[in-house]
Amino acid sequence: MDLEYTAEQKKFRQEVRRWLADHMPAEPLQSFDTDTGFKQHRRWEKTLAEGNFAMVTWPQKYGGRGCNLIEWLIFEEEYYRARAPLRVNQNGIFLLGPTLMEYGTSAQKTRYLTPMAKGEEIWAQGWSEPGAGSDMAAIRCKATRTGDTYVINGQKTWSTRAAFADWVFCIFRTDPDSLRHHGLSFILVPLNASGVTVRPIRQLNGLTGFAEIFFDDVQVPVENRLGEEGQGWQVAMATAGFERGLMLRSPARFQETAKQLVELYHSHRNDILDLSIEDAVVKSFMDAEAYALSTYQTASRLIKGGKIGSESSLNKIFWSELDQRMHETAMSILASRAELLPHAPAAENVGNWLDDFLFAQSGPIYAGANEIQRNIIAERLLGMPRK
Amino acid sequence: MDFTFTKDQQLYHDSVKRFLTAKVTTEYIRQSWASHTGSSAKLWQGLVELGLTAMLVPKAYQGLGMKLLDFILLAQECGRVALPEPLLETTMVATPILGTLAEKDPRCRSLLHKIAAGEARIAVLHTVNNLISDAHNADWLLLPKSDQLHLLARDQVRLTAQASIDPSRRLFTVEWQGSSETCLTSGTEGVALLAFILNCGALATAAQLLGLAEAMLAMTVQYTIDRQQFGRPIGANQALKHHLANCAVATEFAKAPLYRAAYTVSQRPSQADLAISHAKVAAGEAAVLTAKHCIQAHGAMGYTWECDLHIFMKRAWTLDKFWGPAGFHKNRLRLWLMDTKAKIGADQTFSTQS
């Protein structure tokens, strides 16, 4: 155990810090769930790619730097420290990207990874269906193979970023006689394909962060399939592992939220009568630290050849419920002003807490509801009986 | 940057775990309750032969010259089996203290030799506890008085037994008169060493709490597999799965803070207070939560003397309050965090701030 950064890692941190200081947008970008904001964020992805910072862990030939996971954590720390824009292509770079690395052919890697890194192709996720939410194996949306083409029919829903994205990665039933986890395939679909209809869904904050997607005889070539036909469930589980695990929510995000919470507490200290709030602030700091420490531990283990499996469910529960508690605490500190929208005259200095509080409510739901994660922990990590 | 244990640390951990699991069974613990001292010379000899008492003694005094970080996984194992021996007070608390004084104090040197050889046990009092554990079995006692730290032989003090709900914990209040002869250190150094004692005690306790949480969880999972109701194992019920999953989450996120704390004591002493307080709070919360859900999963069985769960539950409840309860440690963190000069944020986890 050696909890010191190497000279090279320190140098890398300085390089990231300097680059971000020189390239950060002058004004905060609008939400990427608006048309204008989406375009701004796409440009920002391009800027990151030009600086070779789009996805530092990827191999150089796909636009990365070949960094290890510790360096990725350093990058993320600097990124959140600088309050840099959220990643509009997170479905692509954090979820599909690692899945492509594991299951993609070399032609697929070349085809998809570079445009993904440059923000030229922004990805949505298409797994859930009206009848397949937590029970993802109930997928009914069909991809029927005729020669070298899949013909897709059915509906996906809760597709994050689909309102403005270019592509969606989906799981479809390719074997019509199959049941549950069998006979599914992982297929990449351009959202401008003929027969695709995207219907945006308004979220709690009024913006269209996700959408329904309707497929009506949509044709895509067989080479858009990732992994073998019928292997879709395994491929999707690898993606889900990334989503719940290391990639989607780096600890830096929560550490910066905890820091802002401490600052918010300081600035309202004299108005706060509820003694439990200070305790909640301290606890937020501790838990964000614990998540960071645990992630460094996991990253170190993975660098030495370890694997991450069902343990990622522990992470998902921890960060999502921590995020919720931190934002509940912020709302308690802001008290009667907590509900004010940013343009309300009295909303000065309330920051982004309200919007982030709303978003924090989705954490325990998306990427597999926390109840499902608890089942996974109980059955796969602890060995409790399925029935 | 590497947050893993070395191969050697893991191998040693495995062998200590095997030894403790084989020797310190719940049957053994129940037998030890009936004995006068609660302790076994044979078991102690086994621990000595494994090298546990010599590990943290500097090489100059016939020890193995290792660090608290090397001991942390072993302390976790002592918790996992609810070890009823005063091993950690001697090794993880008294030994590092005597080590810092050894160069200038021949008493400490001779005592370190004896500890390494397994011939001396030390009990340690601290004002945060006011009770001293296993003093009846100790050859020597480390005792604080304002800014002074004293070393007294057991026959120089008067002990009054204070019965604990955990029959393995032999607690005492101690009456004693120090003199300039018994005083090891005082003043600034004394204050620093008393703080160090507290940190070492809290670290050893946090490790045990984590081991206890893991032990309770494992035995309760087994119980939910074996126990049938409504024609199926009770562990198939989602309510129980979710309770126990919550224990697994709390336990998992107490681990990295514990190992960071053990690293910090030797590598970054200026940050040790915060790291250790974090570890103690997190491990205590994990253990107490796990005790609560585990007794619930056991139903009425968990409320009996016969069921082994209470061996671990009582240790968890008591250690959570020993060497500083959660409030004490959270308050240390709070005082630091609420100082506007505290450096926090994403880039600060491993920074060298004081």
At residue A253, what is the residue type? Answer: R
Q: Which residues of A touch B263 (CB under 8 A)?
A: 1, 3
Q: Which of B208, B209, B133 is nearest to B168 (CA)?
A: B133
Mean pLDDT of A102-116: 95
Average pLDDT over residues A36-57: 96
How many angstroms separate the CA atoms of B315 and B311, rounded? Answer: 7
CA dihedral (A170, A173, A174, A179) positive or negative: positive
φ, ψ for residue B153 (rounded to 5)?
A: -75, 160
Distance from CA of A285 to the nearest CA of B (A): 9
Selecting from B238, B249, B256 the residue whose C-beta is nearest the C-beta of A297 gives B256
What distance in Å separates the CA atoms of residue B17 and residue B7, rounded to the nearest whole number? 15
Residue B331, C-beta contacts closer than 8 angstroms, at least 6 positions apart: none
Residue B230 lies in a domain: yes
Mean pLDDT score, B183-207: 98
Mean pLDDT for chain B overall: 97
Tokens of B30: 């129940």
Contact between residue B324 and residue B283 where contact means Cβ atoms under 8 Å apart: no
Number of domains present in the structure of chain B: 1
- Enumerate the residues of chain A whose CB falls inside 8 A of the CB of residue B350: 3-5, 296
Average pLDDT over residues B111-125: 98
Inspect the interface and report whether the beta carbons of B236 and A285 lie closer than 8 Å.
Answer: no
Q: CA-CA distance, A3 to B263, in Å (whole number)?
A: 8
How high is the ipTM of this complex? 0.97
B5-15: pLDDT as tens digits: 999 999 999 99
Q: Residue B215 above 80 pLDDT? A: yes
The domain containing residue B273 runs over which residues?
Answer: 190-337
What's residue A348's pLDDT?
86
State yes or no: pLDDT of B354 exceeds 60: no
**A212 tagged catalytic:** no
Dihedral over alpha carbons B64, B69, B70, B75 (to 10 degrees): 110
**Cα four-point dihedral sign A91, A97, A100, A106:** positive
Could you give the residue ranges of the DSSP H alpha helices within B50-155?
68-80, 87-88, 95-101, 106-117
Q: Within a domain: residue B8?
A: no
Nearest by CB to A266, from B3, B340, B347: name it. Answer: B340
Q: Does some domain include residue B318?
A: yes
Degrees to nearest 5, angle at CA B80 with A380 and B170: 155
- Which ranges constitute the DSSP H helices of B227-271? 238-267
Determine, yes or no, domain membership for B128: no
Closest by Cα among B59, B143, B38 to B94: B143
CA-nearest of A195, A176, A197 to A185 is: A176
Could you give the domains of chain A?
Answer: 7-88 (no CATH), 123-231 (2.40.110.10), 249-381 (1.20.140.10)
Tell me the pTM: 0.96
Percent of chain B predicted with pLDDT > 90: 97
Is residue B253 a part of any domain in this protein? yes
Judge whether residue A249 has pLDDT over 90: no
Per the domain annotation, does B215 fall within a domain? yes
Establish if B260 belongs to a structural domain: yes
Q: Is B136 a domain residue?
A: no
CATH number at residue B282: 1.20.140.10
User: CA torsion angle for A12, A17, A18, A20 (degrees, to 10)?
Assistant: 120
